[in-house]
Amino acid sequence: MSTAVKNQLRVCLLSVKYNIMREMVNKVTFLTNISFMILNNASILVQWFILFRLREDVGGYTFREIMMLWGLTAASYGLSHILFARAFSLPELVIKGKLDAYLVQPKNVLISVITSSIRISAIGDLLYGIILMAFCRLGLREWILAALFLVTGTVVFTAFSLLLGSLSFWFLRMDILENQTVMGMVSFATYPDGIFQGLSRFLLYFIIPVGMAVWHPVHVLARFDAGMLLTVLGYTALLAGSSVAVFYRGLKRYASGNLMGART
Amino acid sequence: MQAIKVEHLSKTFRVKRKEKGMKGSIKAILHPQTEEIRAVKDVSFVVEEGEVLAFIGPNGAGKSTTIKMLTGILYPDGGCAKVLGMDPTKKRRQLAYGIGTVFGQKEQLWTHLTPYDNFRFFGAIYDLSEKETEIRIDELSNRFGLGDFINTPVRNLSLGQRIRCEIVASLLHRPKVLFLDEPTIGLDPVVKETVRELIRQMNREEHTTIFLTSHDVGDIEKLCRRIIIVNDGQIVLDDSVEHLKHHYPDHSLEEIITEIYKAKELTAVG
């Protein structure tokens, strides 16, 4: 590993560590945020449990697959909001001209920006996701695949949000579209893909990439399919590359501002 | 040796315009109109290594835009700039190791963390080892008198204490050029004097080139040997402070600067 990469990694880890330290200043809020997020997620799974007592499968999914779906969605969403939370609020920084602090530092701007914040309730999402996966009684190979899909899912959530957020360099109020689309993506991700057909299915696989973030991975976990695995890996790399390219293209249009509260 | 060289630098912003009221909003959707604002127009100057330069002008004159182009934050539309021999748009990251920035009205520190934790983070940003960072924190903490509050969260510090910490954070990596954008704004006279003395000391001992913008004439009189005045995006004066005072012996520096600002406004109106 080159020194530059090592140094960048050191800054990223320090950034995440300090983000958590900042949130831990208020112990009560820190702990309640995490535990209530776990409870909130768990309450919805109860509905699924009741539904599966009435039917054997929903949209081609068994209860175990629904648990995998929820587990992977919660863990990917959680990890993306622990490591790269600022990617989900990029339009605010762009519109208010708050990228200056990152541009005067000798580190990668994009990585510095997206790792500069944390959503603390996301720790609850990540823990909940891991607990659910543990209940699915995965074998060693499935655990390795689940870890890989946690990484791809995190990248897909982050890159998709970054891509939409980067459009703020050209258009105002992209935060509305970005928020609604990402929240829509999370909502769709908690339903089996079998209930979506035709155009909506196409959109949910390729335009709002729910399919690549969680549906394909759950199918691979339930029944291994090398083609699907490669599709997920290829799509993730393509989406990540596109979002980074759009961000840097937009950065040249950055107009700065008179505010510079980078990590207030 | 030249620390900064600027040749014919220009920057234009495109701003949306709309007529008043709801009618204007609807019209703006159907026929969007934009206006070009030339924030910096054909600016050229050179700053020598170790020089302390005041780069001043009224609000909206183009000072901050120029600083942002020199630090790689903004891309110029025309001309070119070299800071420490590097083009900020092409070698932004490399240049960042050689420069420091302090913005009096803006925060670069994490407000919920202590200055000490902040300095450790900045040390990592500039690739200093843990040992180097500790030595430098000790050295600067003694020089800037941070001992009493180095472990107090930044949000609980007074403005004067925070500014001192901001300056220390920008000096950890021993920058060759320091950009100070209104570093004494909002400070009381005693703290202002302390900050000025520290800047002077840094320039003297580390031979740091200082590029200062300020509306406080005291900063300029006590720190700078040379003054550049910009107005409406153009340089209207580039002279030594001593020379200015010599030419206008019966006026204070504040009066001279005010007169220059007014003269330019009259020219613009005329």
3-state DSSP assignment of residue A31: helix
pLDDT value, residue B50: 92
The whole domain housing B179 covers 2-8+47-98+175-269
Structural domain contains residue A3: no
pLDDT value, residue B59: 85
CB of B118 closer than 8 Å to CB of B100 = no
Q: Evaluate if residue B270 carries a pLDDT over 60.
A: no
Size of interface A-B (CB pairs under 8 A): 80
ipTM of the complex: 0.81
Q: How far apart are CA A22 and CA B72, in angstroms?
A: 29
Partners of residue A21 in chain B, C-beta under 8 Å: 113, 117
Contacts of A143 (CB under 8 A, 6+ apart): A133
HEC profile for A73-130? HHHHHHHHHHHCHHHHCHHHHHHCCCCHHHHCCCCCHHHHHHCCCCCCHHHHHHHHHH
Structural domain contains residue A259: no
Is A104 within 8 Å of B73 when comparing Cβ atoms?
yes
Contacts of B84 (CB under 8 A, 6+ apart): B3, B95, B98, B99, B176, B177
| Average pLDDT over all residues of chain B | 87
Q: Evaluate if residue B75 carries a pLDDT over 60.
A: yes
The whole domain housing A241 covers 10-251
Q: Is B93 on the interface with A (CB under 8 A)?
A: yes
Structural domain contains residue A92: yes
Count of structural domains within chain B: 1
CB of A37 closer than 8 Å to CB of A121 = yes
Select from B80, B67, B75, B73 the least CA-distant residue to B214.
Answer: B67
CATH (domain of B232): 3.40.50.300
Partners of residue B72 in chain A, C-beta under 8 Å: 103-104
Structural domain contains residue A167: yes
Q: Is B87 on the interface with A (CB under 8 A)?
A: no
CB of B68 closer than 8 Å to CB of B81 = no
User: Least CB-CB distance to A252: which of B65, B75, B93?
Assistant: B75
Q: How far apart are CA B143 and CA B96, in angstroms?
A: 24
Give the residue from chain B lying closest to A10, CA to CA.
B124
Which of B11, B40, B64, B108 is most worth mutating to test chain A (most A CB atoms within 10 A of its CB)?
B108
Structural domain contains residue A4: no
Structural domain contains residue A136: yes
Partners of residue B13 in chain A, C-beta under 8 Å: 255
**A193: which DSSP letter?**
G
Structural domain contains residue A224: yes
Structural domain contains residue A118: yes
Partners of residue A100 in chain B, C-beta under 8 Å: 68, 73, 103, 106
Is A14 within 8 Å of B112 when comparing Cβ atoms?
no
What are A's interface residues with B at a Cβ cutoff of 8 A?
A: 3, 7, 10-11, 14-15, 18, 21-22, 25, 99-101, 103-108, 252, 254-256, 258-264
Q: How far apart are CA B118 and CA B14, in angstroms?
A: 37
CA distances from B2 to A46, B86, B152 (A): 70, 11, 40
Cα A188 to chain center, whole Å?
14
Count of structural domains within chain A: 1
Q: How far apart are CA B28 and CA B35, in angstroms?
A: 13
Structural domain contains residue B22: no
Contacts of A243 (CB under 8 A, 6+ apart): A159, A160, A162, A163, A166
pLDDT values of chain A reduced to their tens digit, one per residue, 264 residues = 688 888 889 899 989 888 888 888 788 988 999 999 999 888 888 888 888 888 888 888 899 999 999 999 999 999 999 999 999 999 999 988 889 889 999 999 999 999 999 999 999 999 999 999 999 988 999 999 999 999 999 999 999 999 999 999 998 778 888 889 988 988 888 888 888 888 888 888 888 899 999 999 999 999 999 999 999 999 999 999 999 999 999 998 887 765 544 454
